[in-house]
Structure 1
Amino acid sequence: MTSLLRPDFATASAALVGNAQRQNLARLHTWLVDEVGLLPGETVLAVSNYQEGSFGRLPNHVVLVTDQRIAFTHDGGLRSIPLSQIDATRVGLRTGLVNGELTLLTTGGEALRFKKGVSLAIQEVAEYTIHGAAASVPVPAPDRPLPRAPRRSTEPSSQGAGQDSVTGTTDQLVRAHVPGAQVLRVEHSGSDHFAVFEVTEAGDQGELLVNVVGRYSGTLVCGQQGPLAGFEVSASGPWSLTLVPWGDVPRWRGHERGTDSGVLVLPAPAQGLVSATITYRGFDHLAVTAHGADWDLLVNHVGAYRGQVRIPPGTEYLVVDTTGPWEAVLD
């Protein structure tokens, strides 16, 4: 079947090794080329199969990513979305030995889910999509400096009872007054898509904080763009949200490990030349940002990573945004 495919299709679909997968791709190939309307010089980079719906359908739909867009067949036909409309920082990827699931979020807030694709193929689609989306939209500077976190004592607060926690098992609007930057602990033990949005004081949907498929246990910072009225949770499994006072967040003493997002609070604002070595052993997107009076993007990478980064003077805490095992060591 490979000889029937356009050369870039043949290379991009190398991970689809099953006879049924190859036959299905060959069947859709010409239609895809015509309907997607590939431009001269546009190259197909990765192709995967996936399943639409929960029951009764085989994973015989196709999702492909080029150097300009992502396109996919579905029960209603075909969609094509420019990479510039994909949020490169919010990608959910869950892989196993055989199958994988990928969740993307458009800049308009729409979630795109591709499940039961061949694990290696779906990873390649994720990687090229993230790289392409990140390259097509440069990281903008904030319109105004992000709010400083409240000044914190060097010792944990004794007010552990002050932590506010809410649990649920399905979609829910959580009302909570968040006056500014605050630490949020998020847990999810379900197997399906899970997302958490901020809700602004005006009642509008704010920043997307979590967007994953499957289990998640991470710590992040919410309210960095201003006060919040609460959170909007999209889920179909057990979850919890816990607002943690800054004084209850453990201080980063020089060596920290995690498996999902984390917040590393320095004992005191960074002074002089300070560096750290960041190691990541996962397959997803890794972003590390430094926060103080302003913020800096220290790491923006897809896949395994190890590197030394400079922590800007005045940094009060780092935020590690990812899904997968990571380690941060002060040099």
Structure 2
Amino acid sequence: MSDTPTTPERPSDSPAPPPPAPPAAAPSSATPKPRSALALWAMIVGIVAMVSAVIPGLSFAAWIPAIAAIALGVIALIRRTPRRGQALTGVVLGPLAWVTAIIVSVGLIAGLSGGVDDSAGDDPVAVEEAPAPVAEEPESEPEPAPEPEPEVVAPAADVVYSGTGDTILQIELPAGPDSIGIATIAHSGSSNFAVWSLDGDLNQSDLLVNVIGGYAGTVPFNLSTAERITAFEITADGAWTVTLRDVLSVRELPASATTTGQGDDVLVYFGDATVADLAHTGESNFAVWSYGASSDLIVNEIGAYTGQVRWPAGTALVQISADGAWTIALQ
């Protein structure tokens, strides 16, 4: 080892070499985040567009997010983002929202225009036709229709027979063979005068007249439907006449009135039960029969009579047998 001092070397004026470059950093995993966010936004905007399309008030503006969803989804697909499903959702929801918005908007416009048309069509009619308020008069009750008057049936024409002495007289009733017969009979002889009604077998049915000498009166016959009168048996010594009449030609016995007559007669009664005052001034039999719902013998006396009796109700044919004047006063 030497004791000679060592002279230190002067540092060189040349620059020092650069330090070695640091190793390259590994690729960061956060690099694809912008692309993933793009796909996510495409899906979100598509959903917003679809929701807006189905809301009537927002459907008119739904096309804006619909176009945005389509654009974002297409860009995300071009950049090949790893979340392709979200990008496809945005691309599908965009057109679907657009079509839905159009349908909803058209329907809303049609509904509004229809409502406006209806209200516009109704209002003028109501204004034009509405009259000024007036006090309504109560409607008068309709007058009842007048009851039709009963048809008036004219009586059939009389059938007149005449002869002298005893005769079997074949007859025809004016209103038909089954109708009630009314016979007005007259005789001008001085001996017995009798008239019997005969049935179809010429059997005697009822003794209608049986007097001595002259006679004038009216009697009923053919009152029963069990037998049909077809002839009269006349016993007479003088001239006689038989006038057959329709029962409709018989005069009425009015209620609350007085009816008078002479000899045999026939009347018709329509009314209620009442009280009758009867009188007769003859000398022979005085009898009053009422033929209605039942046959009632009201009076049966000989000679003069005055009395008060019950008079039955209902429609009835009244036969009076008398040889003098008589009176019937109904109360």
Please give the TM-score of this superposition, normalised by the length of structure 1: 0.49
- Higher RCO (CA < 8 A, seq sep 6+): 1
Higher CA-based Rg: 2
Write 1 or 2 for the structure with the bigger share of strand: 1
